């Protein structure tokens, strides 16, 4: 599907109207909405050291790289100052996400405290985090019980929550062990999760049982990998390390097939091969953002940008006047059945806000 020049022009106007902080009331609202405390609201309370706030923070950092809006940088600094003490109890890959902003803050400030905090967690991921029998990082929540409950399970989520962070550490230290392990984890996850029939990814894989659990081709799970892979590959390239041919081939296969499930309005359904299921915004935003990043890096053909543009068109319809991103499904473990994914409640979340901000920032950067 090809968008007309007039549609593209309208989309570009909407991106700039929404995103350029200091010039757009909408952009200011979406940043404030994510930055406010929202105490007691799991979806929007940013003052936790966990994956949901972490995705929002990663997005803010990406937005700052494009906008150079100083108040966003100040918020990130103040967030770490206020919440850094909470990191000491974190020993779960899913809760590693907030650490991803620490290398960014170090490069911007050269404050060694950010580097030290990042390396303490990075060394834990590199040396001590639980792995499956195949060597992939075992997906774990921030609770002791999850280590046994999720034993030998590989989840797509881990790529964005922990592997991306690991990839950033070589540039911080000069030690290529971090980025090499990140690329190895990426390859292991793609091997375990990619469906040979459709080319897209299952939500998870149980190494012990040798199955894909519920067998859901969950859209947001695919999004974590579609957007996380080019970010990891880009970090590797900055230190002269290349992804393997197997990773690049699998990723190309993933993108070539995932666009087949995009609806005419630009969105993907919450389980992508179930068109009767509701459409879900955060996964759609993550996939569209990842495709745009992949085009920029030459990981997929330039013609695929049209799918990112169409994704933007769909996501833009889900942004309320308040800046809240609508139609975002709640936190999603691997469900017992595929049908259970369609029963999940939708509500405002920081990962929904974050993935949408990342998409808008990426396409804003493309046009700058």
Report how far apart, in Å, the C-alpha atoms of 310 and of each of 286, 292, 313 are: 13, 11, 5
H or E element: which one contains 186? helix 177-193
- Go through the chain and tell me how many residues it has: 368
CATH of region 5-367? 1.50.10.10
CA distance 159 to 225: 6
According to DSSP, the β-strands at 153-155 and 268-269 are unpaired
For the chain of 368 residues, list the mean pLDDT of each consecutive stretch of 10: 44 42 50 76 92 96 91 95 86 93 98 97 94 93 67 96 97 96 98 98 96 98 98 98 98 98 98 98 98 98 97 91 93 96 97 93 73
Provide the whole-model pTM: 0.92
CA distance 58 to 60: 6
Alpha-helical regions (H) of 20-151 = 25-35, 51-67, 70-83, 101-109, 112-127, 145-149
């Amino acid at each position: 599907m090809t968008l007309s020049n007039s549609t593209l022009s309208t989309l570009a106007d909407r991106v700039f109207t929404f995103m350029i902080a200091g010039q757009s009331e909408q952009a200011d609202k979406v940043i404030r909405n994510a930055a406010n405390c929202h105490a007691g609201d799991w979806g929007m309370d940013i003052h936790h050291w966990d994956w949901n706030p972490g995705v929002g923070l990663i997005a803010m950092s990406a937005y700052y790289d494009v906008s150079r809006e100083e108040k966003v940088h100040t918020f990130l600094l103040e967030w770490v100052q206020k919440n850094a003490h909470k990191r000491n109890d974190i020993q779960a890959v899913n809760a590693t996400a907030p650490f991803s902003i620490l290398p960014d803050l170090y490069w911007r400030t050269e404050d060694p405290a950010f580097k030290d905090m990042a390396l303490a967690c990075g060394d834990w991921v590199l040396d001590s985090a639980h792995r499956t029998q195949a060597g992939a990082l075992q997906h774990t929540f921030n609770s002791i019980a999850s280590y046994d409950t999720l034993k030998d399970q590989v989840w797509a989520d881990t790529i964005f929550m922990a592997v991306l962070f690991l990839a950033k550490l070589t540039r911080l230290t000069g030690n290529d062990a971090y980025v090499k392990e990140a690329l190895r984890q990426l390859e292991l996850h793609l091997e375990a999760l990619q469906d040979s029939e459709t080319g897209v990814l299952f939500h998870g894989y149980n190494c012990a049982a040798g199955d894909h659990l519920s067998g859901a081709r969950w859209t947001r799970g695919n999004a974590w990998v579609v957007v996380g892979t080019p970010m990891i590959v880009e970090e590797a390239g900055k230190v002269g390390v290349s992804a393997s041919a197997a990773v690049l081939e699998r990723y190309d296969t993933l993108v070539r097939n995932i666009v087949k499930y995009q609806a005419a309005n630009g969105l993907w359904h919450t389980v992508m091969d179930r068109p009767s299921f509701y459409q879900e915004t955060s996964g759609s935003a993550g996939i569209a953002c990842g495709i745009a990043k992949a085009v920029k890096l030459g990981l997929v053909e330039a013609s695929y940008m049209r799918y990112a543009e169409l994704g933007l068109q769909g996501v833009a319809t889900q942004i309320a006047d308040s800046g809240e991103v609508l139609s975002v499904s709640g936190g999603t473990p691997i469900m017992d059945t595929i049908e259970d994914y369609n029963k999940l409640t939708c509500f405002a979340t920081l990962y929904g806000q974050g993935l949408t901000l990342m998409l808008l920032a990426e396409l804003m950067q493309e046009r700058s």
